[in-house]
Structure 1
């Protein structure tokens, strides 16, 4: 009995609010607004708010199936467990491999973004030159320690950071809405133009809009630690994707209004980095922009903490199911956290980052863009396979509502298949590079899936042979 306790997380420690904090923090409201939203405007033009609406509706379709499934199955295994239950153990191994690639890639890229932002902020405020490599080391230690300790501590830190970053943008939104002379707009189309999805630019912009939602599906990873998980996880899923969607629709709408007397697409293209800052300074003031520049750093720190905790639970669950070394499934006797997984993950990210440092890679144009692009493609692939698995699970077990359990997940799967294919063949647009390395990265998703399958089948057979030997001896 005591041994079993080493492989179970702290039950009932997270409510809907706590899980939503983790998920919205992963979406990085401020970080995505500063980094990804200008790209959506640059590629998609004034139709950006409508593109976020389309992205929200597409992912809500996926969220329905995910929430319905979580009313029946709760675990820390995420997509690996979902696909295992729906499509079988072998496909579960495939998804486990892709999931590890997805979150490792996202984390690595985000560490590079954070280190660059922190280095620039220190130079701006204090005039000191601190190399980004040193900033990565500090971030690794900080996030690793919080991941090692009680998850409730991480939740409180994330909650505070998320509230501050959302608040600063809501102030901007409120000021824009208050100062706007609505009589100058003759129709709804003037303030909320709809995109032409047959246009390649709109399709690419939609892809970047979907990137801003990456991480909301991680609600399922906290199922074992949730209070009343069969109700908490579905509720958190709906709340998270809805709030993320509303937030980005509102903020892009206000940015559109702020630049209404200019060609918003040209302004965004000319200065992606200061697109949001300039609008905020014009409407709210320089003081607010200074605060915003600091909160961008803490926003990305919140993302790091959120993804670190999510991946720790993946490692924990996969180890518990014999996909990885069993030591990763141990929990701390006091904090009830996957502390070994947190240590190993911190070391892994440190080693991957070291490879980029030794290769003299640019932290943003290469380390960040390549790895986040790869992570995004991997997560879209997980969502696609997860959708088909959810539909298959309910069909196979004759459970769930016909529409929410079987039809909608199937529709979501087909939509995400299209998105996944488009992302794969246009990865250079997502990574921002036409280099041979960049365009070769999407194939790592397939390599990860095959490697996961081989590893899972091998370890499962090895475990079966070991059990058979023990049975024969006894």
Structure 2
């Protein structure tokens, strides 16, 4: 077996729809609607939540302009680290890789915690079956590990099936609201500029951006994409637009469904806010199905996180930032099998730590860990925006001012603003009043500093996909 054959992912194996499935799965749209909905529509939120989601979609589409242009020139399973390395050098790429690994591990670990606790509660309440959460977590880690070890298309098929189901169940409610006219008739009050001046709108925008986390994973599959120069940009735009439209319409529908009682209902009973409306308008059967699909939605998000991490570890193994064995792929399936096994071991270790601590999964671990992940990804967004600006300004191919300068600057300013809001409101993310806990936002910065400071033996760059001999 040649070196190139043992380190290359399977080329031309995943199309636009497959990559979009990974992105949508990471976003976990049903879980976001149920979890973030009460926050942005409650008394601490704003009646302008639909408008906020729409504006967030526009900002991320602007970010995607430079992001997509860079994907045509540079690619590799290192994701944002590839772009950042092109603009600022190898040490910065290392820092970005460390931040990404911390961030995605935070999302994956939080996902395992949420999946385990939610599944345990569902089995107990619906079937009277009492299974410890750690047993459910172990099964999930094994299942995700097996799928991650396999060919990428196996995960795509699983994600596609789960995603279609969770999106459809929400769309049924959306249609029911618009057909019945909601509580007080269909209106566009939630899109009025004046609605954005009410409530803690900065927190609303923070929640909106958090709901989109995951669309950047499109670049991680560039080496496996069919005609990557077109597939990655197209998948990025489709993913952002699809998620944005889905969130905007669904938040609007929920707001119409409750009418003037929206803020009160979201504040007084956040856990049943969405389910109660669905039961009233669609029926108990739909709510029963929805509660099951919440579980599968969380699983799909964890699977997508695992796939992203496996490719980051593969990239780090290839370039000398991690043991070279991590940079090898399966001889037949061309999957990042060693990286996948390693990531499963890391996830298991972090789960054991959660178990040994004895802390509550939903009120402690989930908000704390997901907050670290959110800061990590926002740091990468800001860094990538600046990197895109610098790299495209040097490009001999791309000369359009909107693409090389205007869009990247607007994206960098917007992302930096959201990162600042996230740090200033970190206690909102952690749901904690502990000063120590609310300093966890420094973790990604420390990880980046370590990655920048440590000197690695460079093997080869990740600017282009490795060719199979």
Task: Give the TM-score normalised by the residue count of structure 2.
Answer: 0.94
CA distance in structure 1 between the partners assigned to 2:449 and 2:221 by the alignment: 27
CA distance in structure 2 between the partners assigned to 1:426 and 1:125 by the alignment: 37
1:46 and 1:193 in contact (8 A); partners too: no
2:467 paired residue number: none
1:37 and 1:209 in contact (8 A); partners too: no
CA distance in structure 1 between the partners assigned to 2:55 and 2:430 by the alignment: 22
RMSD: 1.7
CA distance in structure 1 between the partners assigned to 2:199 and 2:182 by the alignment: 33
Q: 1:255 to 1:194 in 2, by over 3 A?
A: farther
2:38 and 2:270 in contact (8 A); partners too: yes
1:223 and 1:229 in contact (8 A); partners too: yes
1:337 to 335, 338, 341: 335
1:429 paired residue number: 428
CA distance in structure 1 between the partners assigned to 2:200 and 2:357 by the alignment: 33
Q: Which moved more, 1:262-271 or 1:232-241?
A: 262-271
1:63-74 equivalences under 5 Å are 63-74=64-75
> What's the CA shift for 1:126?
1.6
> What's the CA shift for 1:192?
3.4
2:417 paired residue number: 418
1:460 paired residue number: 457
- 2:115 is equivalent to residue 117 of structure 1: no
Deviations 1:390-411 (CA, angstroms, capped at 9, x unpaired): 1100112344122112221122
Structure 1 SS opposite 2:279:
helix
2:356 paired residue number: 358
> What's the CA shift for 1:37?
1.8
Q: Which runs of 4+ in 1 moved over 4 A?
A: 181-185, 195-200
1:196 and 1:202 in contact (8 A); partners too: no
Structure 2 SS opposite 1:264:
helix
1:45 and 1:264 in contact (8 A); partners too: no
CA distance in structure 2 between the partners assigned to 1:333 and 1:91 by the alignment: 31
1:319 and 1:329 in contact (8 A); partners too: yes
Deviations 1:1-60 (CA, angstroms, capped at 9, x unpaired): 612211100000000010001101111111111111221112323211111111111111
Q: 1:200 to 1:175 in 2, by over 3 A?
A: closer
2:248 paired residue number: 249
Q: Which moved more, 1:418-427 or 1:210-219?
A: 418-427
1:90 and 1:453 in contact (8 A); partners too: yes
> What's the CA shift for 1:362?
0.9
2:37 paired residue number: 37
In structure 1, runs of 5+ residues without a counterpart are 465-474
CA distance in structure 2 between the partners assigned to 1:80 and 1:387 by the alignment: 12
1:156 paired residue number: 157
1:161 and 1:302 in contact (8 A); partners too: yes
Deviations 1:161-216 (CA, angstroms, capped at 9, x unpaired): 0000001011111111111179946x643x53446656671110110111110001
1:373 paired residue number: 371
Deviations 1:330-372 (CA, angstroms, capped at 9, x unpaired): 1111211101111110111111121121111110111111111
1:130 paired residue number: 131
Q: Which moved more, 1:54-63 or 1:176-185?
A: 176-185
CA distance in structure 2 between the partners assigned to 1:127 and 1:195 by the alignment: 49
In structure 2, runs of 5+ residues without a counterpart are 461-469
CA distance in structure 1 between the partners assigned to 2:185 and 2:135 by the alignment: 51
1:74 and 1:223 in contact (8 A); partners too: yes
> What's the CA shift for 1:297?
0.2
1:391 and 1:405 in contact (8 A); partners too: yes
Q: 1:182 to 1:120 in 2, by over 3 A?
A: closer
Q: 1:254 to 1:200 in 2, by over 3 A?
A: closer
CA distance in structure 1 between the partners assigned to 2:15 and 2:309 by the alignment: 20
Deviations 1:284-333 (CA, angstroms, capped at 9, x unpaired): 00110000000000000110111110110011011101111111011111
> What's the CA shift for 1:424?
1.3
2:8 paired residue number: 8
Q: 1:181 to 1:133 in 2, by over 3 A?
A: closer
> What's the CA shift for 1:91?
1.5
1:197 and 1:203 in contact (8 A); partners too: no
2:218 paired residue number: 219
CA distance in structure 2 between the partners assigned to 1:182 and 1:30 by the alignment: 22
Structure 2 SS opposite 1:170:
helix
CA distance in structure 1 between the partners assigned to 2:333 and 2:313 by the alignment: 17
- 2:275 is equivalent to residue 277 of structure 1: yes
Deviations 1:75-97 (CA, angstroms, capped at 9, x unpaired): 11101101001222221111111
1:129-278 equivalences under 5 Å are 129-180=130-181, 184=185, 188-189=188-189, 192-194=191-193, 201-260=200-259, 262-278=260-276
1:104 paired residue number: 105
How many residues in Structure 1 have an aligned counterpart in Structure 2? Answer: 458
> What's the CA shift for 1:263?
2.6
CA distance in structure 2 between the partners assigned to 1:127 and 1:284 by the alignment: 26
Q: Which moved more, 1:199-208 or 1:227-236?
A: 199-208
Q: Which moved more, 1:237-246 or 1:125-134?
A: 125-134
1:471 paired residue number: none
1:50 and 1:192 in contact (8 A); partners too: yes
CA distance in structure 2 between the partners assigned to 1:182 and 1:98 by the alignment: 45
